[in-house]
Amino acid sequence: MTQRRDFIKKAVLGGLGLSLFSSFRGEEQPPPIGWNNIESQFNIPPDYHYLNTGTLGISPKYVIHSYQKAIELLNTKGAYDQYKKQLYQRMASFFKCEEQELALTKNVTEGNNIAAWALPLKKGDEVILSTHEHVGNAIPWLNRARIDGLKIVLVELGKNGTETLSNISQKVSSRTKVIAMPHIPCTIGHILPVKQIAKLANTLGAYSCIDGAHGAGMLSLDLRSMGCDIYSGCFHKWMLGPKGSGFVYIKQSLLSSLDTHFAGAYSDNSWSFENAKLEFGGIRSDSAQRHAYGTQSDPIHAAVLSSIEFIEKLGVKKVEKTIRNKGKRLCEQLLELPELEVLASTQANENGGIVSFKPKRKDYREMYQNLSRQGFRIRAVPESSIDCIRVSTHIYNSDASIDQFVSAVKKELV
Protein backbone atom coordinates (compact mmCIF):
# COMPACT_ATOMS: atom_id res chain seq x y z
CA MET A 1 0.00 0.00 0.00
CA THR A 2 2.74 2.42 1.02
CA GLN A 3 4.73 1.43 -2.05
CA ARG A 4 1.73 2.05 -4.25
CA ARG A 5 1.09 5.43 -2.62
CA ASP A 6 4.74 6.35 -3.11
CA PHE A 7 4.52 5.35 -6.73
CA ILE A 8 1.38 7.45 -7.33
CA LYS A 9 2.91 10.34 -5.44
CA LYS A 10 6.07 10.24 -7.54
CA ALA A 11 4.06 9.91 -10.75
CA VAL A 12 1.88 12.91 -9.86
CA LEU A 13 4.75 15.07 -8.72
CA GLY A 14 6.81 14.00 -11.72
CA GLY A 15 3.91 14.74 -14.06
CA LEU A 16 3.60 18.23 -12.67
CA GLY A 17 7.32 18.78 -13.08
CA LEU A 18 7.93 19.06 -9.35
CA SER A 19 11.12 18.29 -7.54
CA LEU A 20 10.95 15.70 -4.80
CA PHE A 21 13.18 17.65 -2.46
CA SER A 22 10.41 20.03 -1.58
CA SER A 23 8.99 20.00 1.93
CA PHE A 24 5.43 19.43 0.65
CA ARG A 25 4.57 15.89 -0.30
CA GLY A 26 0.99 16.30 -1.44
CA GLU A 27 -0.56 14.06 1.19
CA GLU A 28 -0.44 16.73 3.88
CA GLN A 29 -3.01 19.51 3.87
CA PRO A 30 -1.77 22.40 1.72
CA PRO A 31 -1.25 25.75 3.47
CA PRO A 32 -4.31 28.06 3.57
CA ILE A 33 -4.57 30.33 0.56
CA GLY A 34 -3.42 33.88 1.23
CA TRP A 35 -1.00 36.61 0.21
CA ASN A 36 1.04 36.26 3.35
CA ASN A 37 4.31 34.59 2.38
CA ILE A 38 2.93 33.72 -1.06
CA GLU A 39 6.13 31.92 -2.16
CA SER A 40 5.52 29.28 0.55
CA GLN A 41 2.37 28.14 -1.29
CA PHE A 42 4.51 26.82 -4.13
CA ASN A 43 7.28 24.26 -4.45
CA ILE A 44 9.68 26.49 -6.36
CA PRO A 45 13.23 26.08 -4.92
CA PRO A 46 14.39 29.34 -3.29
CA ASP A 47 17.47 29.77 -5.50
CA TYR A 48 15.57 29.13 -8.73
CA HIS A 49 14.06 32.08 -10.62
CA TYR A 50 11.07 30.72 -12.52
CA LEU A 51 10.29 33.48 -14.99
CA ASN A 52 8.59 31.37 -17.65
CA THR A 53 4.87 31.28 -16.82
CA GLY A 54 4.27 32.22 -20.46
CA THR A 55 5.17 28.61 -21.25
CA LEU A 56 3.71 26.89 -18.18
CA GLY A 57 2.63 28.10 -14.76
CA ILE A 58 3.79 26.44 -11.57
CA SER A 59 0.83 24.97 -9.71
CA PRO A 60 0.41 25.86 -6.05
CA LYS A 61 0.39 23.12 -3.42
CA TYR A 62 -3.37 23.66 -3.14
CA VAL A 63 -3.89 22.57 -6.76
CA ILE A 64 -1.48 19.62 -6.54
CA HIS A 65 -3.30 18.41 -3.45
CA SER A 66 -6.66 18.34 -5.28
CA TYR A 67 -5.09 16.60 -8.23
CA GLN A 68 -3.66 13.87 -6.06
CA LYS A 69 -6.84 13.42 -4.04
CA ALA A 70 -8.86 13.03 -7.24
CA ILE A 71 -6.45 10.38 -8.56
CA GLU A 72 -6.88 8.46 -5.30
CA LEU A 73 -10.68 8.70 -5.45
CA LEU A 74 -10.82 7.66 -9.08
CA ASN A 75 -8.53 4.71 -8.54
CA THR A 76 -10.06 3.38 -5.35
CA LYS A 77 -13.79 3.70 -6.01
CA GLY A 78 -13.81 4.33 -9.72
CA ALA A 79 -15.84 7.46 -8.97
CA TYR A 80 -16.15 9.31 -12.26
CA ASP A 81 -17.44 12.71 -13.42
CA GLN A 82 -17.32 14.06 -9.89
CA TYR A 83 -16.34 17.63 -10.72
CA LYS A 84 -17.48 18.48 -14.25
CA LYS A 85 -20.85 20.03 -13.41
CA GLN A 86 -19.40 22.21 -10.68
CA LEU A 87 -16.45 23.12 -12.88
CA TYR A 88 -18.61 24.45 -15.73
CA GLN A 89 -20.61 26.53 -13.24
CA ARG A 90 -17.43 27.91 -11.74
CA MET A 91 -15.83 28.64 -15.12
CA ALA A 92 -18.94 30.50 -16.28
CA SER A 93 -18.93 32.75 -13.24
CA PHE A 94 -15.14 33.21 -13.44
CA PHE A 95 -15.13 34.14 -17.14
CA LYS A 96 -18.46 36.00 -16.95
CA CYS A 97 -20.38 34.04 -19.56
CA GLU A 98 -22.89 31.20 -19.74
CA GLU A 99 -22.01 27.56 -19.03
CA GLN A 100 -23.27 26.53 -22.48
CA GLU A 101 -20.77 28.90 -24.08
CA LEU A 102 -17.82 26.94 -22.70
CA ALA A 103 -16.21 23.61 -23.52
CA LEU A 104 -13.27 22.04 -21.75
CA THR A 105 -10.31 21.28 -24.01
CA LYS A 106 -6.85 19.90 -23.43
CA ASN A 107 -5.01 23.03 -24.54
CA VAL A 108 -5.26 26.30 -26.44
CA THR A 109 -4.41 24.64 -29.76
CA GLU A 110 -7.45 22.38 -29.48
CA GLY A 111 -9.64 25.45 -28.98
CA ASN A 112 -8.07 27.13 -32.02
CA ASN A 113 -8.70 23.99 -34.09
CA ILE A 114 -12.33 23.91 -32.96
CA ALA A 115 -12.63 27.53 -34.12
CA ALA A 116 -10.91 26.89 -37.44
CA TRP A 117 -13.25 23.98 -38.26
CA ALA A 118 -16.48 25.35 -36.80
CA LEU A 119 -16.80 28.31 -39.15
CA PRO A 120 -18.63 28.09 -42.48
CA LEU A 121 -15.75 29.11 -44.79
CA LYS A 122 -15.17 28.48 -48.48
CA LYS A 123 -12.46 28.80 -51.10
CA GLY A 124 -11.17 32.36 -51.48
CA ASP A 125 -12.32 33.52 -48.03
CA GLU A 126 -9.64 35.50 -46.19
CA VAL A 127 -8.35 34.89 -42.68
CA ILE A 128 -6.28 37.59 -41.01
CA LEU A 129 -3.46 36.43 -38.72
CA SER A 130 -0.63 38.40 -37.15
CA THR A 131 3.06 37.85 -37.92
CA HIS A 132 3.49 37.00 -34.22
CA GLU A 133 1.31 33.89 -34.06
CA HIS A 134 2.31 30.95 -31.93
CA VAL A 135 2.40 27.77 -33.99
CA GLY A 136 -0.69 26.67 -32.02
CA ASN A 137 -2.78 29.38 -33.68
CA ALA A 138 -1.02 29.52 -37.05
CA ILE A 139 -1.21 25.82 -37.93
CA PRO A 140 -4.95 25.27 -37.34
CA TRP A 141 -5.76 28.12 -39.75
CA LEU A 142 -3.04 27.19 -42.25
CA ASN A 143 -4.36 23.65 -42.20
CA ARG A 144 -7.94 24.72 -42.89
CA ALA A 145 -6.59 27.02 -45.61
CA ARG A 146 -4.67 24.10 -47.14
CA ILE A 147 -7.76 21.90 -47.26
CA ASP A 148 -10.40 24.48 -48.25
CA GLY A 149 -8.40 27.01 -50.26
CA LEU A 150 -8.68 29.93 -47.85
CA LYS A 151 -6.31 32.85 -48.20
CA ILE A 152 -4.21 33.83 -45.18
CA VAL A 153 -3.49 37.55 -44.85
CA LEU A 154 -0.71 38.57 -42.46
CA VAL A 155 -0.70 41.72 -40.36
CA GLU A 156 2.30 43.24 -38.56
CA LEU A 157 1.87 44.23 -34.93
CA GLY A 158 2.39 47.93 -34.23
CA LYS A 159 4.24 49.63 -31.41
CA ASN A 160 0.92 49.86 -29.60
CA GLY A 161 -2.70 48.78 -29.94
CA THR A 162 -3.77 51.80 -31.98
CA GLU A 163 -1.11 51.07 -34.58
CA THR A 164 -1.98 47.36 -34.61
CA LEU A 165 -5.65 48.15 -35.12
CA SER A 166 -4.82 50.49 -37.97
CA ASN A 167 -2.59 47.78 -39.55
CA ILE A 168 -5.50 45.35 -39.40
CA SER A 169 -7.91 47.89 -40.89
CA GLN A 170 -5.57 48.33 -43.85
CA LYS A 171 -5.61 44.59 -44.58
CA VAL A 172 -9.34 43.90 -44.48
CA SER A 173 -11.30 43.41 -47.69
CA SER A 174 -14.74 42.30 -48.76
CA ARG A 175 -13.39 38.73 -48.62
CA THR A 176 -12.25 38.94 -44.97
CA LYS A 177 -14.20 36.29 -43.11
CA VAL A 178 -12.07 35.78 -39.98
CA ILE A 179 -9.77 37.88 -37.84
CA ALA A 180 -7.83 35.37 -35.73
CA MET A 181 -5.41 37.18 -33.45
CA PRO A 182 -3.79 36.57 -30.08
CA HIS A 183 -5.12 38.43 -27.05
CA ILE A 184 -1.48 38.67 -25.92
CA PRO A 185 1.15 37.48 -28.41
CA CYS A 186 3.63 34.97 -26.99
CA THR A 187 6.50 36.96 -28.50
CA ILE A 188 6.32 40.52 -27.16
CA GLY A 189 3.42 40.37 -24.71
CA HIS A 190 1.40 43.44 -25.76
CA ILE A 191 -2.21 43.27 -24.59
CA LEU A 192 -3.96 43.73 -27.93
CA PRO A 193 -7.21 45.72 -28.22
CA VAL A 194 -9.40 42.62 -28.65
CA LYS A 195 -12.63 44.48 -27.98
CA GLN A 196 -11.98 46.77 -30.93
CA ILE A 197 -10.74 43.88 -33.07
CA ALA A 198 -13.99 42.01 -32.36
CA LYS A 199 -15.98 45.14 -33.19
CA LEU A 200 -14.13 45.60 -36.47
CA ALA A 201 -14.78 41.96 -37.44
CA ASN A 202 -18.41 42.37 -36.55
CA THR A 203 -18.86 45.43 -38.76
CA LEU A 204 -17.31 43.47 -41.65
CA GLY A 205 -19.63 40.53 -41.07
CA ALA A 206 -16.53 38.46 -40.23
CA TYR A 207 -15.79 36.24 -37.24
CA SER A 208 -13.35 37.21 -34.47
CA CYS A 209 -11.40 34.28 -33.02
CA ILE A 210 -9.05 35.17 -30.21
CA ASP A 211 -6.12 33.02 -29.13
CA GLY A 212 -6.25 33.72 -25.41
CA ALA A 213 -3.32 31.56 -24.28
CA HIS A 214 -2.07 34.37 -22.02
CA GLY A 215 -5.38 35.96 -21.07
CA ALA A 216 -6.89 33.80 -18.34
CA GLY A 217 -5.06 34.23 -15.04
CA MET A 218 -2.98 37.20 -16.20
CA LEU A 219 -6.05 39.39 -16.75
CA SER A 220 -9.45 39.44 -15.18
CA LEU A 221 -11.59 38.36 -18.14
CA ASP A 222 -15.12 39.27 -19.03
CA LEU A 223 -15.65 37.16 -22.14
CA ARG A 224 -19.15 38.36 -22.91
CA SER A 225 -18.30 42.03 -22.82
CA MET A 226 -15.14 41.42 -24.85
CA GLY A 227 -17.50 40.73 -27.74
CA CYS A 228 -15.41 38.18 -29.62
CA ASP A 229 -17.04 35.18 -31.28
CA ILE A 230 -14.62 32.48 -30.13
CA TYR A 231 -11.94 32.67 -27.43
CA SER A 232 -9.51 29.80 -26.73
CA GLY A 233 -7.65 29.69 -23.46
CA CYS A 234 -5.90 27.41 -21.03
CA PHE A 235 -5.48 26.76 -17.36
CA HIS A 236 -1.88 25.54 -17.54
CA LYS A 237 -0.18 28.92 -17.90
CA TRP A 238 -1.29 31.99 -15.92
CA MET A 239 -4.14 30.14 -14.16
CA LEU A 240 -1.51 27.89 -12.50
CA GLY A 241 -3.66 24.84 -13.17
CA PRO A 242 -2.86 21.29 -14.24
CA LYS A 243 -0.93 20.78 -17.45
CA GLY A 244 -3.04 19.72 -20.42
CA SER A 245 -6.14 21.74 -19.55
CA GLY A 246 -7.92 24.42 -21.55
CA PHE A 247 -11.26 25.82 -22.61
CA VAL A 248 -12.97 27.34 -25.58
CA TYR A 249 -15.70 29.98 -25.43
CA ILE A 250 -18.21 30.18 -28.26
CA LYS A 251 -20.70 33.05 -28.25
CA GLN A 252 -24.21 31.77 -27.57
CA SER A 253 -25.81 33.39 -30.61
CA LEU A 254 -23.45 31.44 -32.90
CA LEU A 255 -23.85 27.99 -31.39
CA SER A 256 -26.62 26.84 -33.69
CA SER A 257 -24.93 28.04 -36.89
CA LEU A 258 -21.43 26.65 -36.28
CA ASP A 259 -20.34 23.15 -37.16
CA THR A 260 -18.86 20.32 -35.11
CA HIS A 261 -16.33 17.99 -36.70
CA PHE A 262 -15.34 15.72 -33.84
CA ALA A 263 -18.26 14.41 -31.84
CA GLY A 264 -19.21 11.60 -29.47
CA ALA A 265 -20.77 11.06 -26.07
CA TYR A 266 -22.17 14.39 -24.78
CA SER A 267 -22.19 15.92 -28.30
CA ASP A 268 -25.58 14.56 -29.33
CA ASN A 269 -29.19 15.29 -28.49
CA SER A 270 -30.03 11.62 -28.41
CA TRP A 271 -28.78 8.44 -29.92
CA SER A 272 -30.00 4.90 -29.99
CA PHE A 273 -29.00 1.73 -31.75
CA GLU A 274 -32.45 0.23 -31.40
CA ASN A 275 -33.87 -1.56 -34.45
CA ALA A 276 -30.46 -1.19 -36.05
CA LYS A 277 -31.44 2.30 -37.16
CA LEU A 278 -28.31 4.33 -37.81
CA GLU A 279 -29.85 7.55 -36.69
CA PHE A 280 -29.38 10.03 -33.97
CA GLY A 281 -31.03 13.18 -32.78
CA GLY A 282 -28.34 15.42 -34.21
CA ILE A 283 -25.52 17.40 -32.72
CA ARG A 284 -26.47 19.50 -29.73
CA SER A 285 -26.92 23.01 -30.97
CA ASP A 286 -27.51 24.47 -27.54
CA SER A 287 -24.08 24.05 -26.03
CA ALA A 288 -20.38 24.43 -26.79
CA GLN A 289 -19.92 21.40 -24.55
CA ARG A 290 -20.61 19.22 -27.59
CA HIS A 291 -16.88 19.71 -28.32
CA ALA A 292 -15.89 18.02 -25.04
CA TYR A 293 -16.86 14.48 -25.93
CA GLY A 294 -15.98 11.14 -24.38
CA THR A 295 -14.13 10.24 -21.21
CA GLN A 296 -12.36 13.11 -19.54
CA SER A 297 -9.84 13.38 -16.73
CA ASP A 298 -11.44 13.82 -13.31
CA PRO A 299 -8.10 14.71 -11.64
CA ILE A 300 -7.60 17.49 -14.20
CA HIS A 301 -11.13 18.77 -13.60
CA ALA A 302 -10.55 18.75 -9.84
CA ALA A 303 -7.26 20.59 -10.22
CA VAL A 304 -8.72 23.18 -12.61
CA LEU A 305 -11.49 23.82 -10.10
CA SER A 306 -8.87 24.35 -7.42
CA SER A 307 -6.83 26.68 -9.61
CA ILE A 308 -9.93 28.86 -10.13
CA GLU A 309 -10.58 28.72 -6.39
CA PHE A 310 -6.96 29.65 -5.67
CA ILE A 311 -7.06 32.72 -7.94
CA GLU A 312 -10.51 33.75 -6.70
CA LYS A 313 -9.47 33.49 -3.07
CA LEU A 314 -6.46 35.70 -3.74
CA GLY A 315 -8.75 38.02 -5.72
CA VAL A 316 -8.58 37.95 -9.51
CA LYS A 317 -8.14 41.72 -9.77
CA LYS A 318 -5.35 41.68 -7.18
CA VAL A 319 -3.62 38.81 -9.00
CA GLU A 320 -3.76 40.83 -12.24
CA LYS A 321 -2.48 43.96 -10.52
CA THR A 322 0.39 42.06 -8.89
CA ILE A 323 1.44 40.38 -12.14
CA ARG A 324 1.31 43.70 -13.98
CA ASN A 325 3.19 45.59 -11.28
CA LYS A 326 5.96 43.03 -11.37
CA GLY A 327 6.08 43.24 -15.16
CA LYS A 328 6.23 47.03 -14.84
CA ARG A 329 9.05 46.84 -12.30
CA LEU A 330 11.05 44.71 -14.71
CA CYS A 331 10.18 46.75 -17.79
CA GLU A 332 11.10 50.08 -16.20
CA GLN A 333 14.50 48.81 -15.13
CA LEU A 334 15.24 47.30 -18.54
CA LEU A 335 14.21 50.55 -20.25
CA GLU A 336 16.99 52.30 -18.36
CA LEU A 337 19.59 50.18 -20.17
CA PRO A 338 20.40 51.87 -23.53
CA GLU A 339 22.14 48.69 -24.79
CA LEU A 340 18.75 46.95 -24.85
CA GLU A 341 15.76 47.22 -27.12
CA VAL A 342 12.69 46.65 -24.96
CA LEU A 343 9.76 45.44 -27.07
CA ALA A 344 6.97 46.61 -24.75
CA SER A 345 3.97 48.55 -26.04
CA THR A 346 4.50 52.31 -26.09
CA GLN A 347 1.09 52.50 -24.40
CA ALA A 348 1.92 51.58 -20.78
CA ASN A 349 -1.50 50.09 -19.94
CA GLU A 350 -1.05 47.55 -22.76
CA ASN A 351 1.80 45.81 -20.96
CA GLY A 352 1.22 42.92 -18.58
CA GLY A 353 3.22 39.99 -17.25
CA ILE A 354 5.31 39.33 -20.37
CA VAL A 355 8.34 41.55 -20.99
CA SER A 356 10.57 40.94 -24.01
CA PHE A 357 13.87 42.55 -24.92
CA LYS A 358 16.94 42.07 -27.05
CA PRO A 359 20.52 43.25 -26.71
CA LYS A 360 21.44 45.70 -29.49
CA ARG A 361 25.04 44.59 -29.88
CA LYS A 362 25.20 41.08 -28.40
CA ASP A 363 23.88 37.74 -29.50
CA TYR A 364 20.52 37.24 -27.75
CA ARG A 365 20.98 33.45 -27.71
CA GLU A 366 24.28 33.66 -25.92
CA MET A 367 22.78 36.04 -23.38
CA TYR A 368 19.78 33.74 -22.96
CA GLN A 369 22.05 30.76 -22.34
CA ASN A 370 24.23 32.63 -19.85
CA LEU A 371 21.18 33.84 -17.89
CA SER A 372 19.67 30.33 -17.94
CA ARG A 373 22.89 28.89 -16.52
CA GLN A 374 22.57 31.30 -13.59
CA GLY A 375 19.17 29.85 -12.64
CA PHE A 376 16.88 32.25 -14.51
CA ARG A 377 14.25 30.19 -16.31
CA ILE A 378 13.26 32.41 -19.22
CA ARG A 379 12.46 31.82 -22.91
CA ALA A 380 14.27 32.64 -26.12
CA VAL A 381 11.96 33.85 -28.90
CA PRO A 382 13.35 32.88 -32.32
CA GLU A 383 9.87 32.93 -33.91
CA SER A 384 9.56 35.04 -37.07
CA SER A 385 13.16 36.21 -36.47
CA ILE A 386 11.99 38.36 -33.58
CA ASP A 387 15.10 37.09 -31.76
CA CYS A 388 14.48 38.29 -28.25
CA ILE A 389 14.41 37.09 -24.66
CA ARG A 390 11.01 36.74 -22.99
CA VAL A 391 10.48 37.07 -19.26
CA SER A 392 7.18 36.31 -17.53
CA THR A 393 6.25 37.63 -14.10
CA HIS A 394 3.70 35.97 -11.81
CA ILE A 395 2.71 36.22 -8.17
CA TYR A 396 5.44 33.76 -7.12
CA ASN A 397 8.25 35.96 -8.48
CA SER A 398 9.54 38.17 -5.71
CA ASP A 399 10.63 41.75 -6.43
CA ALA A 400 14.10 40.73 -5.23
CA SER A 401 14.20 37.99 -7.85
CA ILE A 402 13.24 40.47 -10.59
CA ASP A 403 15.94 42.89 -9.43
CA GLN A 404 18.50 40.06 -9.42
CA PHE A 405 17.53 39.26 -12.97
CA VAL A 406 18.12 42.88 -14.02
CA SER A 407 21.55 42.84 -12.29
CA ALA A 408 22.43 39.66 -14.17
CA VAL A 409 21.37 41.28 -17.47
CA LYS A 410 23.52 44.34 -16.69
CA LYS A 411 26.55 42.08 -16.12
CA GLU A 412 25.94 40.47 -19.49
CA LEU A 413 26.09 43.87 -21.17
CA VAL A 414 29.55 44.90 -19.94
Ligand X SMILES: Cc1ncc(COP(=O)(O)O)c(C=O)c1O
- Residue nearer to ligand X on the CB measure, 110 or 126: 110
For residue 391, the minimal CB distance to ligand X (Å) is: 14
Least Cα distance to 245 among 347, 352, 109, 363 occurs for 109
Residue 398: strand, helix, or coil: coil
- Residue nearer to ligand X on the CB measure, 220 or 232: 232
Among 53, 59, 137, 260, binds ligand X (CB under 6 A): 137
For residue 111, the minimal CB distance to ligand X (Å) is: 8
Interacting stretch for ligand X, rule CB under 6 A, among 107-115, 282-290, 299-307, 324-332? 107-115
Interacting stretch for ligand X, rule CB under 6 A, among 121-129, 132-140, 270-278, 310-318? 132-140
Backbone angles phi, psi at 129, to 5 degrees: -125, 165
Alpha helices in 205-253 (DSSP H): 223-226
In whole angstroms, how far apart are CA 153 and each of 25, 125, 176, 240, 322?
A: 50, 10, 9, 34, 36
Residues 41 and 62 sit within 8 Å (Cβ to Cβ): yes
* Residue 136 touches ligand X, criterion: CB under 6 A: yes
- Residue nearer to ligand X on the CB measure, 213 or 302: 213
Backbone angles phi, psi at 205, to 5 degrees: 75, 25
- Residue nearer to ligand X on the CB measure, 213 or 402: 213
* Residue 246 touches ligand X, criterion: CB under 6 A: yes
Q: 61-77 and 298-314 helices cross at what angle (nearest 10)?
A: 150
- For β-strands 246-250 and 230-234, DSSP reports them as antiparallel
For residue 147, the minimal CB distance to ligand X (Å) is: 20
Backbone angles phi, psi at 95, to 5 degrees: -95, 0
- Residue nearer to ligand X on the CB measure, 192 or 204: 192
Among 60, 182, 189, 242, binds ligand X (CB under 6 A): 182
Q: If DSSP states are collapsed to H, E and C, what string results for 159-213?
A: CCHHHHHHHHHHHCCCCEEEEEEECCCCCCCECCCHHHHHHHHHHHCCEEEEECC
Interacting stretch for ligand X, rule CB under 6 A, among 37-45, 103-111, 282-290, 334-342? 103-111
**How crowded is residue 182: how many other Cβ atoms within 10 Å of its Cβ?**
28
- Residue nearer to ligand X on the CB measure, 204 or 354: 354
* Residue 353 touches ligand X, criterion: CB under 6 A: no
Among 210, 234, 319, 354, binds ligand X (CB under 6 A): 234
Interacting stretch for ligand X, rule CB under 6 A, among 130-138, 146-154, 276-284, 365-373? 130-138
- Residue nearer to ligand X on the CB measure, 115 or 150: 115
- Residue nearer to ligand X on the CB measure, 107 or 297: 107
* Residue 108 touches ligand X, criterion: CB under 6 A: yes
Alpha helices in 59-173 (DSSP H): 61-77, 84-95, 108-118, 135-148, 161-171
* Residue 109 touches ligand X, criterion: CB under 6 A: yes
Site residues for ligand X, 201-230, by CB under 6 A, read: 211, 213
Residues that bind ligand X (CB under 6 A): 55, 107-109, 134, 136-137, 182, 186, 211, 213, 234, 246
